[in-house]
Amino acid sequence: MRRRFVFLLNNPPKLKKNSTEKKKRREKMTSKILVIGATGYIGKVFVEGSVKSGHATFALVRESSLTDPVKAKLVESFKDLGVTILYGSLNEKESLVKAIKHVDVVISAVGRTQILDQVNIIDAIKEAGNVKRFLPSEYGNDVDRTLAIEPALSEFIMKAQIRRAIEAAEIPYTYVVTGCFAGFFVPSLGQCHLRLKSPPTDKVSIYDSGNAKAIINTEEDIVAYTMKTVDDPRTLNKILYIHPSKNIVSQNDMVSLWERKIGKTLEKTYVSEEELLKSIQEAEPPMDFVMGLIHMVLVQGDLTSFTIDPSVGVEASELYPDVNYMSVDEFLNQFV
């Protein structure tokens, strides 16, 4: 009895528990993920988030991009995380098919100028024949239900065309509708064309009444929700809407939150819709596009102009209540 007692002391249940937990984690890591557009603004967050979520992660990178010191350093940081770097591009079918054959989930994070080039990804996925889900580059509004005007409208039409191509090819998909990137919208309190790094402490322009509701999420939370969906059958061939209640805010809401934090009332200049439309017409690219986003989000209320149809979409914070997302209020704290 004494020997058995000693044996149990030397092999406490904790080790068995840890072993079981590791096994469960391995069982959950079913998908291998390829990120295309990995060195871009949201692409790099997807790469890091995929690794953090425990997925075997691959990044498709153009060899020519390594001549850029910033991107070369980023790729090295990916390697340090254990990411497998695959060299190729959207316009090299052989390298694209070869890369896709390594994985079973493809996440595209390509930029605006390459939206239609995603037809090459669709063709490569069809040829590879092993992908169980494709997430095209969207990460904004629902392009099938947009109220946008030109020049922004043209981009959303292209994204909708990619949706139709995916469906026609019968490729399993999830479309991720994220609302605005907090890193882009919040520091400027909605004045995105100013490209501010921190909110103003003196004055702010309010567009129209300032009451149209927007949806704003941090880039990290967007990725966290997206990683939850890649293996979830409930989101297969559906739209994932990232609409957490605390992040449905108007421009006036954002400004009020900031004023309370700094203990000061900002001087407000109200810009009518007519004035904003005139500014869009007079602006040069890409500023006309950015100001078009302001009109779409903060004047037309594009992101909250509809209710989610449960036959085609699901809401992320309801589906994944375990994700501890950051509110706009909390995001503002870093600037105080």
Write out the catalytic residue numbers: 159
Pairs from 84-88 (Cβ < 8 Å, separation ≥ 24)? 84/56, 84/57, 84/58, 84/59, 85/58, 85/59, 85/61, 86/34, 86/58, 86/59, 86/60, 86/61, 87/60, 87/61, 87/62, 87/63, 88/60, 88/61, 88/62
**Inter-axis angle of helices 287-294 and 152-168, to 10 degrees?**
80
- The kind and range of the H/E element at 72 are helix 69-80
CA angle 162, 165, 169 (to 5 degrees): 145
- In the chain, the N- to C-terminal Cα span, in Å, equals 64
C-alpha to C-alpha distance for 38 and 47, rounded to whole angstroms: 7
Tokens of 321: 């209540």
Nearest of 206, 219, 213 to residue 255 by alpha carbon: 206
Give CA 207 to chain center in angstroms.
25
Report the side by side order of strands in the sheet with 213-217: 180-181, 213-217, 248-250
Cα–Cα distances (Å) from 98 to 101, 103, 133, 172, 217, in that order, read 5, 10, 17, 19, 34
